[in-house]
Amino acid sequence: MDPTDATTRPRTGRVLGWALGCVLVAVLLGIAVGVLVTLAMNALVSDEATNGWAGLAAVVVGVLAGVVTAIVSWVVGLVIGARRYFPRGSRIPAVLLTLGTAAVGSAAVIALLDAAGVSGGAVTGSETNVLVIVAVVALSAAVFPWWERRLSRRT
C-alpha cells in the first residue's frame, strides 16, 4: 500500500476539526439556550410577585439550562464523530478518553490556579474557572486525532 493513498492516510485534520467543532457548537448552543431561558423566565415571572428575586432566579435557571445543553450537545457531537471516524469497538474509548481528559484536566488546572492564588473573577468569582474549563475541553479535542493515529498505526 502506498502511504500517500487517501484511504490509508490518517484523517487527522478532519477528526480534529470535528472535535473542535463539537466544542464550538456546544458553547454557542449553551449560550443561546441560556439566554433564551433567562429571557423567557423574565417575561413569565414578575418581580413584584417574588419580591425582586425573579431576575436572579431567571439567570440561575438560564445558566443551568445553558450548561446542561452545552454538555449534552458536546457529548452527542463526540459520539456522532466517533461513529463517523472510528471503527466499531474503538468508539467508546475515544469518547470516554476525551471526556476524562476534559474532566481531569479541568480539575487539575483549576486546583493549580487556586493554589497559586490566580483563580477568581471580577463579577462572580468564577469567570476564570469557566474559561479554564472551556479551554481544557477544547484542548481535550486532541484526543480524537491521537486516537485516529493510534488506530491507523495498528492496521
Give just the sign of the alpha carbon dihedral 107, 18, 72, 26.
positive
pLDDT in tens, 39-64: 998 888 766 766 677 788 888 999 99
Residue 26 in this model has a pLDDT that exceeds 50: yes
Write the CA distances from 88 to 95, 115, 141, integer angstroms: 13, 42, 20
> What DSSP character marks residue 122?
S
Residue 113, CB half-sphere, CA atoms under 13 Å: how many? 19
**pLDDT tens figures, 93-140:** 999 999 999 999 999 998 898 888 876 666 666 778 888 899 999 999
Measured CA to CA, the distance from residue 106 to residue 4 in angstroms comes to: 37
The confidence band for 1, taking pLDDT boundaries of 50, 70 and 90, is very low
Q: What is the pLDDT of residue 21?
A: 92
Confidence of residue 75 (pLDDT cuts 50, 70, 90): very high
Would you say 77 and 84 are in contact if contact means Cβ atoms under 8 Å apart? no
Res 7 pLDDT > 60: no
Stated pTM of the model: 0.81
Q: Are 70 and 27 in contact (CB under 8 A)?
A: yes
